[in-house]
Structure 1
């Protein structure tokens, strides 16, 4: 059973975060909330949360300062910062405290889900077996528990970093492995090259945003990791056999 602590000085935000994910399916049997930094520190020391989500500004206090204090106490908690401010200074301080991710408000459900899944698998050494709605990989169509732990880690890395210029070499460096060897392992288990998987995952995310938003195609292309709009159109048409505009009609 995992324990979760959510910290924000706005009660409606706390309630919203409690409903954003089906925490019970992820194995969270204890969910505590706090509206002040002092209370958050007290509750964290009392329950030792596995994951704690802190707002960057808790009244006059700063979430990263509370996290720094808890780090000093040696808690094994994994931290996520959420913020309504896209400020470099805030993000830098959060990184110094070792937070797992920095999410902008309003917190995107899919992004939060990806971060939580990655923490569960990589840091808490758990599985996603109980989460029936996320137990099948959207590209491979196979259960996550049918794949090796290494491949699961690679898939979760793609899910959390696909918006960036992610490459097999970068992933291999994270795992301190040879890129060619890692690519061979991934291909053998998934029957797909790493680059093919990344492209397919980006296409699925693009389709999701095209159908659920009115954002411009160029903006969507950029949001899924394409700096070249021409490449995006080429890949999209090859994958879905139709253009982004045709899909939206």
Structure 2
């Protein structure tokens, strides 16, 4: 049985996260919660969780600082960061700490489920009985398994997933990795057979399609939520990508 630690300074968030998934179904027999960084570190050392979910801001402290400390202590847990802020700096620090994913609040149940299932299969070497979950391990744009990609490309994909709502560029990613932008772009193209700009556009289109089909939000609002400040560009890209307009898709 797995152990889960959830860390947030808001008690209602802790209770909500405990109810978001049927954790027992996924093999988590023990769940502990903490509302402070100090308590979280103490509990993690004593509890030895397999998975720990940290809010990025816990009072005046940062969740990734606690993760960094636990990494230094050699704790073999896997980590997820959740945040109410889509801040590039927070995503950068999360990546440096080796977190498995960075989820924006309110945490989407389906997204959390996919991340947890991926961790169980790939990191905890467990199984997901009773269903075919192969798609969880496959990149939605590239159609290939994450474990078939290099560590560098997986880190780039993580940055796209966490920052696609912002004006993320190859130059920004290259600066984060302290690499030449042209060289990094060539490496990404060689491994994925896609330019970075093509990948992020495709990822935004898939996220937009999900929201169009699952919500009643206005198209202009959805366009902005996936990183398009100009609705005209969004409509043009969407029609080019799917062969139909957002409103036609929703019919």
User: Which of 164, 167, 170 does residue 169 from structure 2 map onto?
Assistant: 167
Partner of 1:80: 81
**Within 1, Cα distance between the matches of 2:41 and 2:222?**
39
- When residues 127 and 202 of structure 1 are mapped into structure 2, their CA distance, relative to the original with a 3 A threshold, is farther
User: Which of 13, 16, 19 does residue 13 from structure 1 map onto?
Assistant: 16
Task: Assess if the C-alpha contact under 8 Å between 1:210 and 1:248 holds in 2.
Answer: yes
Q: CA deviation at 1:163?
A: 0.9
Partner of 1:148: 150
Unaligned segments of structure 2, at least 5 residues: 128-132
- When residues 177 and 72 of structure 1 are mapped into structure 2, their CA distance, relative to the original with a 3 A threshold, is closer
**Within 1, Cα distance between the matches of 2:16 and 2:6?**
9
User: Which of 135, 138, 143 does residue 136 from structure 1 map onto?
Assistant: 138
**Within 1, Cα distance between the matches of 2:63 and 2:153?**
35
1:101-125 deviations in Å (ceiling 9; x for gaps): 5743x3223554688799x7xxxx9
1:69-117 deviations in Å (ceiling 9; x for gaps): 887786567573556xx7x9xx99xx8xx9975743x322355468879
**Within 2, Cα distance between the matches of 1:234 and 1:147?**
31
**Within 2, Cα distance between the matches of 1:160 and 1:39?**
27
- When residues 47 and 224 of structure 1 are mapped into structure 2, their CA distance, relative to the original with a 3 A threshold, is same
What is the correspondence of 1:185-224 to structure 2 with a 5 Å cutoff? 185-224=187-226
- When residues 19 and 55 of structure 1 are mapped into structure 2, their CA distance, relative to the original with a 3 A threshold, is farther
TM-score by length of 1: 0.70
Partner of 1:4: 4
Secondary structure of 1:157's counterpart equals: helix
What is the correspondence of 1:46-57 to structure 2 with a 5 Å cutoff? 46-49=46-49, 51-54=51-54
Q: CA deviation at 1:39?
A: 6.0
Structure 1 residue 243 corresponds to structure 2 residue 245: yes
What is the correspondence of 1:12-51 to structure 2 with a 5 Å cutoff? 12-19=15-22, 31-34=30-33, 37=36, 40-49=40-49, 51=51
**Within 2, Cα distance between the matches of 1:174 and 1:241?**
35
Q: CA deviation at 1:127?
A: 9.4
Length, aligned pairs only: 227
Q: CA deviation at 1:35?
A: 6.0
- When residues 21 and 142 of structure 1 are mapped into structure 2, their CA distance, relative to the original with a 3 A threshold, is farther
Q: CA deviation at 1:239?
A: 0.6
**Within 1, Cα distance between the matches of 2:201 and 2:24?**
27
Secondary structure of 1:137's counterpart equals: coil
The root-mean-square deviation of aligned C-alpha atoms, in Å, is: 4.2
Task: Assess if the C-alpha contact under 8 Å between 1:111 and 1:160 holds in 2.
Answer: no
Partner of 1:109: 109
**Within 1, Cα distance between the matches of 2:155 and 2:148?**
13
Secondary structure of 1:184's counterpart equals: helix
